[in-house]
Amino acid sequence: MNREPTLDVRPPSQTIAFAAPLLGDEEFAASDTVLRSGWIASGPNVIALEKELSAYFGNRPTRVLTSETAALEVALQLLGIGSGDEVLIGAQTFFSSGNMVEKVGAKSVFVDVDLKSRNIDLADATRRLTSRTRAIIPTHYAGLACDMDALYAFARQHNVRVIEDAALAVGSSWRGKAIGSFGDIALFSFHPNKNITTIEGGALVCNDVADAKRVEVLRFHGISRLPDQTRDVDFPGGKFNMPDVNAAIGRAQLKKLDRFSARRRQLAHRYLANLGGVLPDELLPHRGHAGDEAGHSWNLFAIRLPLERIRATRPQIMESLRARMIATSVSYESPHLTTLFRSQGWKPGDLPNTELIANTTLTLPLHAGLSEADVDYVSAALASVLKEVDFR
């Protein structure tokens, strides 16, 4: 199978980053303006960013927070999920999903995923439903939207709320509609390795203004103002308000989102073309839904390694690529096999697809600042490394 791409490639002058924000003069000027204004905590830029995100998400009420993890905690609190409740979680996800469910006192019920898309397997979700199931948290893995028609049919049939983990999916769409512009609650991340950044930050997209107002209370100590302008607390909320300097950077980034997503899509397709003769199709990332490939925003480019057919471990492959000045990562480990959830009875073999993906995945560099030459170099380097360990 292995065929080295016949590309004119040259070693880079510095390590090719796995992920990196693309910041320019607009972001530098925006942050400088805020810093010079003296108003650097939550202020007018937060309000403006929320309005601009709301417009992007089909005029749905949107509130920003310090992270997507904070947004998830607040979303669970908004729905009143706690002790005695269960939440279904697509298991190809970051640790924060299970962590926040446990933090509010509910039980995390992990669900296996489809081997190719890595998105939640709704048939397995059905098997794991109980009378205590209150919500489902699907992850739009790598920027590829879940089957939204099937997801919301499932939610209606079983009367559960949906909290979309769209941390990787800002800029993604389903059949021409932006993820976050329809459905139930949607959460986004603006960490520096996402398609746009606010340094740290996230957003929660609500169904109505009343929910958005409640999010404002939950994200700031549970404080609400009384008619006499004194304050009251009716819930032990956290402190998750985004600073204005972050919001100003986010506003500049949001204007570039469509361009960034198009660039990521272009680079991902180049990877797929380069690696088509190197790895079998089942080890390459999902291209996108048939007829709707433009809906994939490509936050990650995660292959699976043919470890059973080569004389090397994943750490050895990663080290060989690092020696060639290529940074890689693992996206993601199996959350149900962490110490936290093993202590609750989860064990190897419970989620076979998730575990196979977790044990073999390798995430290659992909961000809007990459060049075609970078992608060609990474592709050729990977082919060379696999050839060295006898993959044919």
Whole-angstrom distance, CA of residue 304 vs CA of residue 363: 8
Q: Which long-range contacts (CB under 8 A, 24 or more apart) does 108-113 make?
A: 108/341, 109/133, 110/335, 110/336, 110/341, 110/346, 110/350, 110/351, 110/354, 111/351, 112/351, 112/352, 112/353, 112/354, 113/141, 113/351, 113/353, 113/354, 113/357
Whether 194 is catalytic is yes
Helix (H), strand (E), coil (C) string for the chain: CCCCCCCCCCCCCCCECCCCCCCCHHHHHHHHHHHHHCCCCCCHHHHHHHHHHHHHCCCCCEEEECCHHHHHHHHHHHCCCCCCCEEEEECCCCCHHHHHHHHCCCEEEEECECCCCCCECHHHHHHCCCCCEEEEECECHHHCCCCHHHHHHHHHHHCCEEEEECCCCCCCEECCEECCCCCCEEEEECCCCCCCCCCCCEEEECCCHHHHHHHHHHCECCEEECCCCCEEECCCCCECCCCHHHHHHHHHHHCCHHHHHHHHHHHHHHHHHHHCCCCCHHHCCCCCCCCCHHHCCCCCEEEECCHHHCCCCHHHHHHHHHHCCECCECCCCCHHHCHHHHCCCCCCCCCHHHHHHHHHEEEECCCCCCCHHHHHHHHHHHHHHHHHCCCC
Tokens of 135: 């919500």
Other CB atoms within 10 A of residue 123 CB:
12
List, in sequence order, every residue forming a beta bridge with 178; answer none if it has no partner: 173
Annotated active-site residue in 103, 107, 116, 194: 194
- Catalytic residues, by residue number, are 194
